[in-house]
Structure 1
Amino acid sequence: MKISTKGRYGLTIMLELARNHGNGPISLKTIAREKGLSEHYLEQLASPLKNAGLVKSVRGAYGGYVLAQDPRDIKTGDIIRVLEGPITPVEGMEDEEPAKQALWIRIRDAVKDVLDTTTLEDLRRHENDQHQNTYMFYI
């Protein structure tokens, strides 16, 4: 299974909203500028995320998007499924011979397990842990 830019950029939006959680809305324009992405493309991704109940839009001069739920409650699998569709390593798994079908099922289940046990809060916290575990050397 290959995650396209839809899934990658959608996860970027959601992670930025998780980083800003509790501080009000953040605009897609801000995310696009900070990450060097197309604002227009992010707008296309925000719509299905909103329809799935993962984000809420806030109108007005200081509007933008916020997470619809706590980052601890949003699983990365939910985001990927909304933007990429079902998680499957190959098309037509049911038509494969049993040995290969068993392999594809094990791969699918392993990927699902990682995506469905990793939350936005886990990603945010991992990022903070990485920053705290870095050393600064001065010469």
Structure 2
Amino acid sequence: MSPKFRRSVMGALAAVALLPSLAAPLAPAMAAEAAPKKEFEFVTLGDFTVNLPGTNRRMSYVVVSVTLETKAEQTQQFRDLSPRLKQAVLRRLMAMSERQELRPGRLDPALLRDSLYDSLAQVQEDGLKDVVITRLILS
């Protein structure tokens, strides 16, 4: 193998090795252009556990997992307000517990969702599309 041929092969291999590192800065921009823009995004508030008043000595409780569907351009506002949003959910669940609206047989998931939406809209209504209850456990 001639030295000239060896240099050209080594140069070609070096160029191929550098291509991914040269294209890497362009990849996120190209991916962002190719990906369709989301109109709505989800913000998870987490699980809320509330004790239910009982007539006997047995403890009972409800666990509710809440996720918000928000306009994509306002998702960060909801993330920034998440402590206040969580407080609003917990207050509403505790009030519903005191009124015994969270009892098995009396719990209406649609009413729960609407009630939580109303409470959350008082904190941040603009951009809030829906409240999704992802888990509901009564014990």
Greater percentage in strand: 2
Answer yes or no: same fold by TM over 0.5: no
In terms of fraction of residues, the more helix-rich structure is: 1
Please, what TM-score do these two structures have when normalized by structure 1? 0.26
Bigger Rg, structure 1 or 2: 2
User: Normalized against structure 2, the TM-score is what?
Assistant: 0.26
